[in-house]
C-alpha cells in the first residue's frame, strides 16, 4: 500500500529508461487505483503491470474485492496471490489462494503465487513442510497447461520488511525444495519450466548473489522497488 497515482507516474517515468535494455521480464504490481495509469504509461515499453490481489468470484456481494475482469480492463496482465501480508493480516489461506489462482488463470492473468514460512516455523525446522503444503494446496488441480500462467515467489515471512534476508544458500535450498515438490506434482519437464522467484528483501546489495543460484529465476521486490535506481539495479543484476 504505497504510492498514489502521482507517485506511480513519477516512479515509472524514472524507471522506464533505466531498464529499457533489460532482457528480463519486468512487472510492476501497483495499487488498484494506479493500475490503469501504470498500464497506459508502460504501453510500448518492456514493463508489464500487475495487481496485488484478485477475487475468486466474477462479481456479486464481495464488497472491497476486485475481480479479474476489472483488473484486465485496466490493461494489467499479472496478479500477486497469497502474499504473506495477505495471509498474516487478512485471513488468506491455502484454500483461498487456490480459488484465486484458478480464477486468475481462467481469466488469462499470470498468477504470481507466494509461499513462505514464518520465523517460528523456520526455528522449528519445518520450513520444507510449510512451503510444500502451500505449493501443493495452492496449485491443487492445475493442469500442466495452466502451469504456464504461474510464477512461484518464495518469500520467507521473517524477511519481509525487516531488512533480514536468507543467505543465498538458504534461499536456494528452499527454492530447490519447491522445485522438487513441483516435479512430484507435474513432472520434471513442466516443473523445470516454471519460474520461482525469491521475495525476501532482495535488494541491490544481495541481488547478484541470490540470482547466481541455479534455481532462483527472479525476484519479488518489495521496498527496493519504490526507488527507481534501486529497482533498476536489481533488474540489471550482474551474473
Q: 9, 85, 146, 155: which one is catalytic? A: 155
Cα end-to-end distance, the chain, whole Å: 32
155 annotated active-site: yes
CA 197 to chain centre: 7
H-helix or E-strand spanning residue 76 = none
Q: 24, 83, 85, 129: which one is catalytic? A: 83
- Classify the phi-psi angles of 23: left when phi > 0, otherwise alpha if psi is within -120 to 50, otherwise beta: alpha
Q: Residue 213, SS3?
A: coil
DSSP secondary structure string, 6-32? HHHHHHHHHHHHHSTT--S-EEEE--G
Backbone angles phi, psi at 195, to 5 degrees: -85, 135
Distances (CA, A) of 169 to 198, 202, 216: 12, 14, 11
Closest to 51 in 3D by CA, of 65, 31, 25 = 31
65 annotated active-site: no
Catalytic residues: 83, 155
Amino acid at each position: 500500500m504505497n504510492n498514489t497515482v502521482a507517485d506511480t507516474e513519477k516512479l515509472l517515468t524514472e524507471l522506464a529508461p533505466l531498464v529499457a535494455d533489460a532482457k528480463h521480464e519486468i512487472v510492476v504490481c501497483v495499487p488498484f487505483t494506479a493500475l490503469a495509469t501504470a498500464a497506459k504509461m508502460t504501453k510500448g515499453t518492456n514493463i508489464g503491470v500487475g495487481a496485488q490481489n484478485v477475487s475468486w468470484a466474477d462479481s456479486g456481494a464481495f464488497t472491497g474485492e476486485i475481480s479479474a475482469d476489472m483488473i484486465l480492463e485496466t490493461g494489467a496482465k499479472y496478479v500477486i496471490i497469497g502474499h504473506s501480508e495477505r495471509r498474516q493480516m487478512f485471513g488468506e489461506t491455502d484454500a483461498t489462494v487456490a480459488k484465486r489462482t484458478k480464477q486468475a488463470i481462467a481469466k488469462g492473468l499470470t498468477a504470481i503465487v507466494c509461499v513462505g514460512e514464518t520465523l517460528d516455523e523456520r526455528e522449528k525446522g519445518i520450513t520444507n513442510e510449510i512451503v510444500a503444503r502451500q505449493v501443493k494446496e495452492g496449485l491443487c488441480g492445475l493442469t500442466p497447461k495452466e502451469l504456464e500462467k504461474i510464477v512461484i515467489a518464495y518469500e520467507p515471512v521473517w524477511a519481509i520488511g525487516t531488512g533480514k534476508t536468507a543467505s543465498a544458500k538458504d534461499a536456494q535450498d528452499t527454492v530447490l525444495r519447491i522445485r522438487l515438490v513441483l516435479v512430484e506434482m507435474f513432472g520434471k519437464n513442466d516443473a523445470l519450466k516454471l519460474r520461482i522467484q525469491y521475495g525476501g528483501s532482495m535488494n541491490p546489495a544481495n541481488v547478484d548473489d541470490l540470482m547466481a543460484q541455479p534455481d532462483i529465476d527472479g525476484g519479488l521486490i518489495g521496498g527496493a522497488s519504490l526507488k527507481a535506481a534501486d529497482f533498476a539495479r536489481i533488474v540489471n543484476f550482474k551474473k
